[in-house]
Amino acid sequence: MRGQVPIDKWRNPRLSAAERAEALIPLMTLEEKVAQLVGVWVGADASGGGVAPHQADMAGVEWSDVIAHGLGQLTRPFGTAPVDPVAGARSLAASQAQIVAASRFGIPAQVHEECLTGFAAWRATVYPTPLSWGASFDPELIEEVAGRIGRSLRAAGVHQGLAPVLDVTRDYRWGRTEETIGEDPYLVGTVGAAYVRGIEGAGVVATLKHFAGYSASRGGRNLAPAHMGGRELADVILPPFEMALRLGGARSVMNSYAEIDGLPAAADEGLLTRLLREEWGFAGTVVADYFSIRFLQKLHGVAAEAADAAGLALRAGIDVELPTVDTFGAPLIEAVKSGQVDEALVDRALGRVLAQKAELGLLDEDWRPLPGEPEDVRLDDDESQELALRLARESIVLVRNTGGLLPLNPGRRVALVGPVADDPMAMLGCYAFPAHVGPHPEHGLGLDLLSLREALGTLIPDLAYEPGCEITGDDASGIAAAVAAAAESDVCVLAVGDRAGLFGRGTSGEGCDAADLRLPGVQSELVRAVLATGTPVVLVLLSGRPYALGPELDAAAAVVYGFFPGQRGGQALAEVLTGAVNPSGRLPVSVPRDAGGLPATYLSPWLGRRTQVSSVDPTPAYSFGHGLSYTTFEWEPLDTGAAEWPVDGEVTVGVSVRNTGSRAGAEVVQLYLHDPVAQTTRPVVRLVGYARVPLEAGQAARVEFTVPADAASFTGVRGRRIVEPGDVELRFGRSSADAATDAVAAVPLRLTGGERELGHDRNLLVTARITREGAG
């Protein structure tokens, strides 16, 4: 238009993100291109004056040198050390201004942070861990939680969140079990997709991790090799990532540290390009898990030097090196100049990075570092805490309740014992800021955090307390006092479990793997001693994994699980124990009986279960999906008239559920598939649908599931996903164990037609329809 100055094509917001990226790439030097493919690990200056790099991590590189040609990402400016949110926002804005001013094109950095249990920053709300998400069986609530987390990230100037973790639990000894949503791929996929929708809906890029196979490491050891066949990978590990991409709309994926059958994920072109991009159609960015490109040289031994590692990662499909500039710095530049690495690979990655920056508005001339003013940044408020409390309440699992010991009756003398009973940190997972970053006594935790003792003490007067022992260590000298307190009481609440941390600083968390599933330290000794008093015991586990307690589990009158229930977890637990809240959580992982046997999830074929040809019985004490309530529910099957199920069609099945107790509660209706004869061995049952159904006392509801035949698909003998004709059953159960042996209702069906092969566009979701009726 006459009188207007022409805008650079790559600045033009009317063009697509891809067109803007394509217009910019030819204008850039090699150094400017590579600068967009790296992050820099920074720490926020608590004064608010700016952000400086960690010199040790930067290997002595000066900040001005790092940003001279631009910068792809800023790594964790809030999540490295305690910093006031307002000061942190000012620091980040100042840092971005320096980046824009220093480089020729003035492109700001994309900022990423951890957000697995909330924004991992000082003074930010801490929500329950992903195992608690799974225990809630409530994707709608998880989407709401993620939306609030996303809005706090965006307000602080963060563009990308490194969550959710979609690894399906395979071995409970793995320290990062607490970060997983559960042991079933359908539950992980549906809950994970809901989290993605919440984060992305707030304008923040969700990052799926860890792609793929990380949770299947040998021996449950962190970063150990994963040895699995293609069917386990295709049918158990990969579906949650598919669901989160297609049903959630995630725009980033982080590679796994795993190596599967000798091939590290960071160098796996078949995984990161042919599957992820060419088959699934993913168009976003693949970011490297921290240091994983260098690990190709140092840990995996598939690269001789940094340049080789960079070339392998680029060819495989990794676009951005995190957390800081390393192999994608000088080694990659020299490799391109020498012809060792094709510059076209740099351009391919750069196109994806710039397109995402265009989507986020980082290429716009009117870009601002913050959507509002720094003074508006508040990371913890009443609404966020109430949401954290709601999720904590829904996630607490009542596993056992003999004789109706719970809820605790008023007037009874109650003793509270155990090493986690008065430890507020027992509520937090390893990616909560206080556990992740470590103690900073001069700053404090940055949030109000009640222990179980503090929360329960407000509801039960004259609560006796003895710790008994520490979480770790072999000092049993306090057990006698705990036994005395229990013996003098009418009921004893015994709280045992974990403390989350990183790389050996805790009993659960990244790098905190377990050799077996016995409770840490002398906690098992404490449990046995307290049970021997004869006082009825409520065993409370605050942990990041299920623990095997053997006969002690049966001796406890009641058992309650809380999987690191977050900032308001102490209150939620106290409310469940006293009956102010009716428990409704369900186990996202099975609770094993034997601490020494190799942990096995419920997704096992017949030979993976108890047999007459082995003396080892892997039957869990409590199975996936199990959970009790303070009210009762009756189920009745609905006659849908279904008998035949076309291999390209769908079928509707359902049950009627009535709350037959005297108080409101929520039932979780679970639908499983049983395929008795197939061309490959199949799990005895596997979850294909579920619905959380809150009901008032006396109220009933019809719960109907529309199940596409695609839900019955699996990887056949030729390595392709198929729907195979033949007889199957859809089974309703209160847990996976019920569905396997004593289903509430079983609907026999015959899949009809010829064998059908499925592609990446298959139907991934079983839909539930709930029709409530009045109280009876």
244 to 91, 355, 699: CA distances (angstroms): 33, 21, 34
pLDDT of 709 reads 98
CB 721 within 8 A of CB 714: yes
Q: What is the pLDDT of residue 727?
A: 97
Number of H helices, E strands in the chain: 22, 28
User: In the predicted model, is pLDDT for residue 714 greater than 80?
Assistant: yes
Q: Which residues pair with 655 in a beta bridge?
A: 637, 703
Q: What is the pLDDT of residue 56?
A: 41
The answer to whether the beta carbons of residues 541 and 559 sit under 8 Å apart is: yes
d(CA 618, CA 278): 40
pLDDT of 5 > 80? The answer is no
Buried b (16+ CB within 10 A) or exposed e, 575-593: bbbbbebbbbbbbbbbbbb
Q: What is the pLDDT of residues 43-76, one digit of tens each?
A: 544 444 443 333 344 444 678 889 999 999 999 9
The pLDDT score that the predictor gives to residue 51 is 36
How confident is the model over 87-93, as a mean pLDDT?
A: 92
Eight-state DSSP code of residue 5: P
256 contacts 214 by C-beta, under 8 angstroms: yes
Sign of torsion over alpha carbons 205, 247, 184, 142: positive
Mean pLDDT value across the chain? 93
- 681 is written with which tokens? 């061995």
pLDDT tens, residue by residue, 346-369:
999 999 999 999 999 999 999 999
Beta-carbon-side half-sphere exposure of residue 145 (alpha carbons within 13 Å): 36
Give the tens place of pLDDT for each residue, 639-674. 877 789 999 999 999 999 999 999 999 999 999 999
Confidence (pLDDT) at 673: 98
Q: List phi, psi (to 5°) of 244.
A: -70, -30
How many Å apart are CA 535 and CA 467, to the nearest integer? 17
Residues 6+ apart with CB under 8 A from 741: none
* 42: Cβ contacts below 8 Å, ≥ 6 apart: 51, 52, 53, 54, 74, 75, 76, 77, 80, 95
| Sign of the torsion formed by the C-alpha atoms of 272, 275, 277 and 281 | negative
Residue 6 pLDDT class (50, 70, 90 cuts): low
What are the residue ranges of helices labelled H in 173-238? 185-201, 230-232
Q: What are phi and psi of 107, to 5 degrees?
A: -95, 125
Neighbours of 658 (CB within 10 A): 19
Mean pLDDT over 173-194 rounds to 98
Does 185 have pLDDT greater than 90? Answer: yes
* pLDDT of 776 strictly over 60: no
Task: Identify the band that residue 373 occupies on the pLDDT scale cut at 50, 70 and 90.
Answer: confident
- Position 751 pLDDT exceeds 90: yes
Query: Looking at residue 584, what is its pLDDT?
Result: 98
- pLDDT given at position 57: 43
Residues 392-450: tens digit of each pLDDT: 999 999 999 999 999 999 989 999 999 999 999 999 999 999 998 876 777 778 889 99
Q: Contact at 8 Å (CB) between 484 and 452?
A: no
Q: What kind and span of H or E run contains 689?
A: strand 686-695
pLDDT digits (tens, 9 = 90+) for 440-493: 777 778 889 999 999 999 999 899 999 999 999 999 999 999 999 999 999 999
The pair of three-digit structure tokens given for residue 761, joined into one six-digit string: 């566009």
The 10s digit of each residue's pLDDT in 197-245 is 999 999 999 999 999 999 999 889 999 999 899 999 999 999 999 999 9
Please name which of 573, 737, 724 lies closest in space to residue 646, comparing C-alpha atoms: 724
Surface-to-core class of residue 366, CB atoms within 10 Å of its CB (0-12 exposed, 13-18 middle, 19+ buried):
exposed
Alpha-carbon distance of 274 to 749, in angstroms, equals: 36
User: 24 to each of 5, 46, 105, 321, 555, how far by Cα in Å?
Assistant: 18, 36, 9, 21, 69
pLDDT at site 309: 98
Tell me which residue of 579, 582, 559, 625 sits closest to 393, measured CA to CA: 582
Q: What is Dmax (Cα atoms) for the chain? A: 91
